[in-house]
């Protein structure tokens, strides 16, 4: 009997979670991760490994606020959607329910003060909403690569303000607020500029009558998150010999009273103008080069799946410890004015790059 050689089936290709920027698309948070470390980004997007899910009050307080904003924009009561969202968080994080309830209560007392503060303000009535809490997937063509990337995200609000000018509104909850820094950085901020460019591309095809309406800038709507340091960072009164412990209800009522006394401390809006030149500069200097690198990187690492040799190409690297990037921390540098305007004021011509190594 002749022996038959068994045919061993080829090993199935490893499944890639993310189908790439041209198929599944890319968000600003993904671009942020790609900028920080290519290897960590690969582990998350290509291998599909994610950190264990834990409740993060900074992120989820912002999400709670967005739930309320979405209901308000639809002229619907916001209380029940907020409660439902908090209930989902409690189910998702059963061991951190106490923290979820705490921040639900904070949002529940802060949001009505926010509504009351802006209700009769002219800033509220001088705008015509076009879109509220809308998720987008916008094609963005890269002529150098002849590829189309899908930009993804969610617009908090897009509106007409003044004489038919389009503004993006971003709603942000922050523990600490630096007004000057916010205003300086918005015209080259990754999220806000990507979202403005997405509006520009979307308007070309999807918004009738607005193709020639100018995009003027950003209305940055900031909510100071209570209990995050500074004024209003109160604690529940403990029991004394003459008084019982402050009830939870009384504690949050006291917090609401503090917010109501000085609402301008907690609710701020800045309208920052962004010119067509600002948008073009961001595309030329940041977005287009970054997306082109992302496309090249994706083609490379997906060709290496299962071979574990992504580092054979210098387009892929792992970020080391011991470095510090003030820009990633929301700060600024001594070169920002030069990059923005070309002015070398405050700078001097260096004679050497290694003064600490020279005697």
Helix (H), strand (E) at residue 142: strand 127-142
Token reading at 59: 């992120």
Residue 210 pLDDT greater than 70, yes or no: no
For residues 296 and 162, the model is more confident at 296
Q: Are the C-beta atoms of 286 and 188 separated by less than 8 Å? A: yes
Enumerate long-range contacts of 25-32, CB under 8 Å, 24 or more apart: 25/137, 25/149, 25/150, 25/151, 25/152, 26/149, 26/150, 26/151, 26/152, 26/291, 26/294, 27/152, 27/153, 28/153, 28/190, 28/191, 28/194, 28/195, 31/190, 31/194, 31/290, 31/294, 32/190
Confidence of residue 123 (pLDDT cuts 50, 70, 90): low
Q: Which of the residue ranges 9-18, 46-55, 66-75, 203-212 would you say has the lowest mean pLDDT?
A: 9-18
Q: In what order do the strands lie in the sheet with 165-174?
A: 127-142, 147-161, 165-174, 215-224, 267-273
Residue 7 pLDDT greater than 60, yes or no: no
Confidence of residue 207 (pLDDT cuts 50, 70, 90): low
DSSP H helices in the chain: 28-36, 38-45, 57-73, 79-92, 97-119, 122-125, 179-185, 190-205, 248-261, 276-282, 288-303, 336-341
State the Cα–Cα distance between residues 249 and 229, nearest whole angstrom.
Answer: 21
State the Cα–Cα distance between residues 187 and 136, nearest whole angstrom.
Answer: 21
Stated pTM of the model: 0.85
Residue 175 pLDDT greater than 70, yes or no: yes
State the Cα–Cα distance between residues 32 and 189, nearest whole angstrom.
Answer: 11
Residue 216 pLDDT greater than 60, yes or no: yes
- What is the predicted pLDDT for the residue at 9? 38
Domains and CATH numbers, the chain: 21-52+126-231+249-308 (3.90.320), 55-119 (no CATH)
**251-283, pLDDT tens digit by residue?**
999 999 999 999 999 999 988 899 999 999 999
Confidence of residue 13 (pLDDT cuts 50, 70, 90): very low
Maximal CA-CA distance, the chain: 100
- Determine the average pLDDT of the residues in 22-49: 96
- Tell me what percent of the residues of the chain surpass a pLDDT of 90: 57
């Amino acid at each position: 009997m002749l022996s038959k050689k068994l045919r061993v089936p080829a090993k199935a290709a490893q499944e890639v979670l993310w189908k790439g920027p041209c198929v599944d698309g890319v968000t600003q948070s993904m671009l942020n991760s790609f900028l920080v470390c290519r290897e960590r980004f690969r582990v998350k997007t290509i291998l599909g490994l994610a950190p264990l899910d834990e409740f993060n009050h900074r992120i989820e307080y912002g999400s709670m606020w967005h739930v309320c904003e979405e209901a308000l924009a639809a002229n619907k009561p916001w209380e029940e959607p907020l409660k439902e969202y908090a209930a989902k968080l409690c189910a998702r994080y059963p061991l951190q329910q106490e923290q979820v309830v705490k921040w639900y209560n904070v949002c529940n007392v802060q949001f009505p003060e926010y509504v009351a503060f802006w209700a009769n303000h002219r800033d509220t009535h001088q705008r015509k909403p076009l879109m509220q809490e809308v998720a987008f997937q916008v094609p963005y063509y890269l002529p150098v690569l002849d590829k189309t990337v899908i930009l993804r995200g969610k617009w908090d609000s897009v509106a007409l303000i003044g004489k038919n000018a389009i503004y993006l509104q971003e709603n942000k909850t922050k523990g600490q607020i630096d007004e000057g820094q916010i205003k300086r950085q918005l015209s080259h901020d990754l999220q806000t500029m990507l979202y403005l460019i997405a509006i520009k591309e979307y308007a070309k095809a999807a918004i009738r009558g607005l193709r020639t309406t100018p995009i003027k800038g950003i209305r940055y709507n900031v909510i100071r998150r209570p209990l995050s340091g500074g004024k209003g960072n109160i604690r529940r009164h403990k029991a004394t010999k003459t008084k019982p412990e402050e009830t939870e209800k009384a504690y949050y009522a006291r917090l609401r009273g503090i917010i109501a006394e000085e609402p301008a401390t907690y609710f701020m809006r800045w309208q920052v103008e962004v010119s067509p030149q600002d948008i073009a500069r961001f595309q030329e200097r940041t977005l287009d080069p970054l997306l082109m690198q992302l496309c090249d990187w994706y083609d490379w690492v997906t060709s290496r799946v299962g071979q574990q040799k992504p580092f054979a190409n210098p387009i892929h690297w792992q970020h080391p410890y011991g470095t510090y990037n003030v820009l990633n921390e929301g700060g600024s540098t001594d070169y920002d004015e030069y990059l923005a305007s070309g002015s070398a004021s405050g700078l001097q011509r260096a004679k050497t790059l290694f003064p600490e190594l020279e005697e």
